[in-house]
Amino acid sequence: MNKNTSHLFSLDLYAGNWRWWFALIAYIFSIILLLFGINHHISMWLMLLLPILLLWLLTRQSPNKKINTQTIMQDVGLAWGNSFKTIIYTLLAVIVFTGLVYLFEQQDKNAEEASKMVMQSLGFGKHYGKDLMLLLSIGIFAPLNEELLFRGLIFRSLFNSLFKQKRILNNTSIQTKKWFAFVLAMLVSVFLFASAHGGGGQDVQMMMLMLMGVLACWLYAVTGALIAPIMFHSINNAIALWQSKVAGHMAFSQGIISLDLVILLLPLLTLCIVMVMRWLVSLLSNKLFNL
């Protein structure tokens, strides 16, 4: 199966020993963090353990598999893929989504008001330290955590396992099976992603949240690199923060570093953290497998 190419799907998505229940473990993991009421920022740091959890799950499934650092990065989703293609497709998704959000809010004033309500409900302007942590959470940790969960584990594990399932659409073409696996995995991922953002005025924006989830799944499928949906998510959140700041929907406390500057740096900081995560996974791989 891996020898069949497609204009949409990256071969990297068929690497690894994925199982459908990885998605269930990931979702339960996130719910436990919320149910136990762990401090919001601490829980976001803990969610970054997902790549390590994934590495352990994948290698446990195939202890005798001949592996190297490159295959491990592909399995975990932290491979770069074709860097030029990844950059172009990510920027294209940002432009398309930003344009559609603008059109949607122009047509539906309730959606524009909902965006304003969401930003005002965050509580900016009370304390500099809190404002800084909110910006880091929205622009860095939320994109990382949500893409690791909804795309890196839920979408990827369902997509991969459905494609390899011999009892599903076994008599159809490989392309048909790929599309079936993609659509079903995408629908589950998008539904859970949009549902996780309900409340706080975001119910009105459900259509845009679902579109964002669809674009994120498409980016992952076409590039094979989780960095694409992560950066798409981070850039989009940074744009939303900047637009709200310019529109006067929120005000920042004053401190050592201008928080306006922090907004502009959020995607770059996100990229830096992804590189650190790649290094940690590579380091752990070397320790476990003496690569």
Alpha carbon 98 to its chain centroid, in Å, reads 17
**Tokens 């960095």 -> residue:** 227
Q: Which of 255, 235, 231 is nearest to 124 (CA)?
A: 255
225 three-class SS: coil
Q: Write down the pLDDT at residue 1.
A: 39
User: What confidence tens digit (pLDDT) does each residue in 52-66 have?
Assistant: 666 566 655 554 455
Checking if the pLDDT of 6 tops 70, the result is no
- Give the helix/strand (H/E) hosting 237: helix 227-247
- Residues 68-98 have pLDDT tens digits of 677 777 777 788 878 899 999 999 999 999 9
Q: Which helix (H) or strand (E) holds 251?
A: none
Residue type for position 232:
F
| Per-position b or e across 76-108, b if 16+ CB within 10 A of its CB | bbbbebeeeebeebbeebbeebeeebeeebeee
Q: 3-state class of 81 per DSSP?
A: coil
What tens digit of pLDDT does each residue of 175-225 get? 888 888 899 999 999 998 888 776 555 556 788 889 999 999 999 999 989
- Separation between Cα atoms, residue 3 and residue 13, nearest integer Å: 12
